[in-house]
Amino acid sequence: MTQEVKRSVKSKMKKRPLDWDNLKIEIAKELGLWDKVVEDGWSALSAVESGRLGGVFSQRKKEQKEEE
């Protein structure tokens, strides 16, 4: 069960596969950022927070690809 998260009005992000969203949400919860995302949307994250989330996300996607 995923919760709908607000996106910026200016967001031009391509629609990503559902597993990307689920992984991003899982990582945000692990990093303690999920409450902030639910309250104010992804755009509320600072550059440092977004970078941490993106780094972990990239690492996990790479690991998943290597496992296949």
**What confidence tens digit (pLDDT) does each residue in 43-63 have?**
999 999 999 999 999 999 899
DSSP symbols for 24-58:
HHHHHHHTT-HHHHHHH-GGGS-HHHHHHHHHHHH
> Which carries the bigger pLDDT value, residue 13 or residue 21?
21
In a domain, 1, yes or no: no
Q: CB neighbours (10 Å) of residue 6?
A: 14
Q: How many domains does the chain have?
A: 1
Residue 35 in any domain: the answer is yes
Locate 49 and state its tokens: 């927070």
| pLDDT for the residue 31 | 95
Q: For position 12, what pLDDT does the model report?
A: 59
Is the residue at 4 inside a domain?
no
51 HSE (CA, 13 A, CB side): 3
Look up residue 50 and give its amino acid.
S
Structural domain range at position 26: 18-67
- Indicate whether 29 belongs to any domain: yes
In a domain, 45, yes or no: yes
